[in-house]
Copies of this chain bind each other. A is one copy, B any other.
Amino acid sequence: MAAGIGDAAAGRLIGLGMGPGDPELITLKAARLLASLPVIAHIHAETPEAGAAGPASGGEAGLARGIAGDLIRADATLIAIAMPMREDRAAGAAAYDAGAARIAGHLAEGHDVGVLCEGDPLTFGSFMYLAARLSGRFRIEVVPGITSMTAAAARLVLPLAARTDSLAIIPATLPEAELARRLDAADGAAFLKIGRHLAKLRRVLTAAGLADHAWYVEHATRPEERILKLSMLADDTAPYFSLILVHRRGEATR
């Protein structure tokens, strides 16, 4: 009795933004859905490794699951999708294929399935890879989440953008020249996915004359949070859940 997108009996796939780490930064809507959805899927890291490139790695196994905590309905069916290290594209794709197939089974039986996502599901979220595999066959909805960028800015009381400022969200994985070009075209910037790209990023910020203005934020709003001026950071690499904020005119008022 498989059901599809045209079939009112089929379930919905719902990406649930879990925010940056503090469980209180979940929205009322996501909390309500966690308490009611019969099936909850989450990504589970197969091989956690510090400094690796994906959200399923970096020792962050099940972060979104941890944020959701016991807000999840007690009798919900949990689907843990085992995700190998991101560097292996083919293995990653196979893991998403397998996860999407398991989710599709529940959707076809008429059950709504929530997918737990760190931060916001559509901002560098792995939800997109599941959604791409299930769109067209099933209805898809998204509950937006608090991003690590706004959470880090909040902890610093650092304005991200005002008046005619533009703000760029830039993955540190880009080549050095591209990082410089994108920073040059913005008033404020948040660099994500820092990992082993920290030295490259320091060079880019120094060349732009912004190294002394940059803030480093690790695990924003979590118990292990670290916040310091980038110039005071001695580390050579950073975990996946870290970011650097900088603004040409901005000063933190913290």
List residues of A whose CB falls within 8 A of some B CB: 15, 17, 19, 22-29, 31-32, 120-124, 128, 131-132, 135-136, 140-147, 150-151, 153-155, 157-171, 173-174, 181-182, 184-186, 253-254
Instruction: Provide the bound-state CA to CA distance between A181 and B163, in Å.
Output: 18
Most buried by B among A146, A165, A169, A174: A146
Shortest beta-carbon distance from A53 to chain B in Å: 10
- In order of increasing CB-CB distance, the 7 nearest A-B pairs are A185-B185, A24-B29, A142-B154, A135-B253, A144-B150, A144-B154, A167-B169
Cβ contact within 8 Å between A22 and B29: yes
Kindly provide the distance from the CB of A188 to the nearest chain B CB, expressed in whole angstroms: 9
User: Inside 8 A of A140's CB, which chain B residues have their CB?
Assistant: 157, 253-254
Please judge, given known A-B contacts A154-B144, A166-B169, whether A122 and B160 are in contact too, CB under 8 Å: yes
Interface of A is mostly: mixed
CB neighbours of A136 from chain B (8 A): 253
Known contacts A28-B23, A182-B186: A144-B135 contact under CB 8 Å: no
- Set of chain B residues within 8 Å of A25, measured between Cβ atoms: 27-29, 143-144
**Which chain B residues border A143 with CB–CB below 8 Å?**
25, 154
B122, A142: Cβ atoms closer than 8 Å = no
Min CB distance A14 to B, Å, is: 10
Are the CB atoms of B157 and A153 closer together than 8 Å?
no
Cβ–Cβ contact A171 & B164, under 8 A: yes
Minimum distance in angstroms from A190 CB to a CB of chain B: 9
> Does the CB pair A157–B171 fall under 8 Å?
no
Least CB distance from A251 to B in Å reads 9
Closest Cβ of chain B to A133, distance in Å, is: 11
Q: A25-B144, A136-B253 known; 18 other A-B pairs, CB under 8 Å?
A: A15-B154, A17-B146, A17-B150, A22-B29, A24-B28, A24-B32, A25-B28, A27-B27, A28-B31, A121-B154, A122-B158, A123-B153, A123-B161, A124-B161, A124-B162, A144-B147, A167-B169, A168-B168
Give the complex CA separation of A173 and B163 in angstroms: 9
Closest-CB distance, A246 to chain B (whole angstroms) = 14
15 contacts between A and B (CB under 8 A): A24-B28, A24-B29, A25-B29, A27-B27, A27-B28, A120-B160, A121-B154, A142-B154, A142-B157, A144-B151, A145-B146, A145-B150, A167-B169, A168-B182, A182-B186
